[in-house]
Amino acid sequence: MKPVHLQLGAQLVAVSLLLSPAALFADGNVVDKVYHPYVDALEKEIEYRSIFQERQHGIDNSKQIHQLSFGTALGPQFFAEAKVLGAKTHGGNFDVDAYEFELKWQLTEQGEYNADWGLLFEYESKDELDAEEFVVGLLVEKQFGRWSGTANLKFIEEWGDDSGDEFEQAVALQARYRYSRSFEPALELYAGQDSIAIGPALLGGTLVGVRKSIYWEAGVMFGVSSESPDSTFRVLFEFEF
């Protein structure tokens, strides 16, 4: 019998090979976060998320993206979230960039099948541009003892005079070791047409009261293609109550 970590690695490689041909159509830097397909029926949360993109090879296109959101469960299967996104490019000012609404649907009970499944729906509207985006994401997670393997596959439709009509896809993979509630090291991979990046991440959380907790994520993804940014840092802080 293969060790658990080898089984997990083989599973993730298989998922990556299965999805990568479809994942090479999304443009831009696709580093964000890996979504898990679970919903807590009583949960509400305030989340701050930030992406720091270093320069792309040969291009000084560093930028920052910040997101602030409020989310609430709508029963045992649905979680809705409203976001405000801001961006700051190299040498520019920080401005509100877009508004986004998100709905996560937990399709199966945890452990009910060989893997756990969910769907993600996102609608984004640019603040000062005629550009809109709709996303449907497939969320899959499988447990291997203390290991978890997660895959996100997103189908993205963009339209508007300032964005053009485009259909894109993107993939995100995560292998996570659940050492303890406050310490979960992970390896992540994000892929799109003009961005492929891989790197380590650290996740954790702590209880701060009855049904209240703080959760965080931090990671650095390194570009593995000439079109990718040299490195992208991502951080996330979440207050759940």
Q: What does the alpha-carbon distance between residue 96 and residue 64 come to, in Å, rounded to a whole number?
A: 12
Q: What is the pTM of this model?
A: 0.86
H or E segment to which residue 222 belongs: strand 212-223
pLDDT values of the chain reduced to their tens digit, one per residue, 241 residues: 444 444 444 444 444 444 443 333 344 568 999 999 999 999 999 999 999 988 766 666 678 999 999 999 999 999 999 999 998 866 667 788 899 999 999 999 999 999 999 999 999 999 888 899 999 999 999 999 999 999 999 999 999 988 778 899 999 999 999 999 999 999 999 998 778 999 999 999 999 999 899 999 999 999 988 778 889 999 999 999 9
Pick the CATH number of 4-240 from 3.60.150.10, 3.40.50.300, 2.40.160.40, 3.30.365.10: 2.40.160.40
Residue 45: helix, strand or coil by DSSP? strand
DSSP 165-200: -EEEEEEEEEEEE-SBTTBEEEEEEEEETTEEEEEE
Q: For 78-126, give the secondary structure using H, E and C.
A: EEEEEEEEEEEECCCCCEEEEEEEEEEEECCCCCCCCCEEEEEEEEEEE
Q: Which residues contact 183 (CB under 8 A, 6 or more apart)?
A: 202, 204
- Please choose, from the candidates 204, 202, 206, the residue with its C-alpha nearest in 3D space to the C-alpha of residue 233: 202
Domain chopping of the chain, boundaries: 4-240
78 CB neighbour count, 10 Å cutoff:
14
Distances (CA, A) of 75 to 39, 136, 140, 203: 9, 21, 20, 26
Beta bridge partners of 88: 64
Q: What does the alpha-carbon distance between residue 239 and residue 232 come to, in Å, rounded to a whole number?
A: 24
Estimate to the nearest angstrom the gap between the alpha carbon of 91 and the chain centroid. Answer: 27
